[in-house]
Amino acid sequence: MILVVGAIASGKKEYVKSLGYSDSDIADAILDERPVLYNLQDMVFSDPEGSGNLYDALLKKEVVICNEVGSGIIPVDETERKAREATGRLCNRLAQAAERVVRLVCGIPVVIKG
């Protein structure tokens, strides 16, 4: 599995397409048979408490794309705060298992693992 992270509009999806995937390979925040999962953070935000259960299914994906959501001022709103932390912790676990982790900055893929 390749984990692709980065800020909003940092070029994550374009990068994944450059690996040979097309729009029809990319599932938007839903688990199905498509090889690429996009917007993982949306799945975590819709159910932060249960997000750890996504782990096994995500490992079977070829590519997982997630926004980096942990930067900046810690939100006052508890739900938002917990969702941010849950996203971070899930990504830490995925990064450990991933064969490669790529972080997009200004459209530039920076390989941080593998």
Partner 1 sequence: MRILLTGGSACGKSTYAEKLAMRFSTPRYYIATMRIYDEESRKKVERHRQMRKTKNFITIERDTDIHLIELSRRGTVLLECMCNLTANEMFDRYGNITDVYNKIISGIESLASQCENLIVVTNDVGSDGGKYDESTQEYIRTLGRLNISLAERFDCVYEMVCGIPIVLKGRLL
Residues that bind partner 1 (CB under 8 A): 3, 5, 68-74, 78, 81, 84-89, 91-92, 94-96, 101, 103, 110, 112-113
Query: Looking at beta carbons only, is 32 or 73 nearer to partner 1?
Result: 73
Q: How far is the CB of 107 from partner 1 (least distance, A)?
A: 17
Query: Looking at beta carbons only, is 61 or 84 nearer to partner 1?
Result: 84
d(CA 6, CA 68): 5
> Is 61 in contact with 75 (CB distance < 8 Å)?
no
Query: Looking at beta carbons only, is 63 or 68 nearer to partner 1?
Result: 68
Query: Looking at beta carbons only, is 60 or 81 nearer to partner 1?
Result: 81
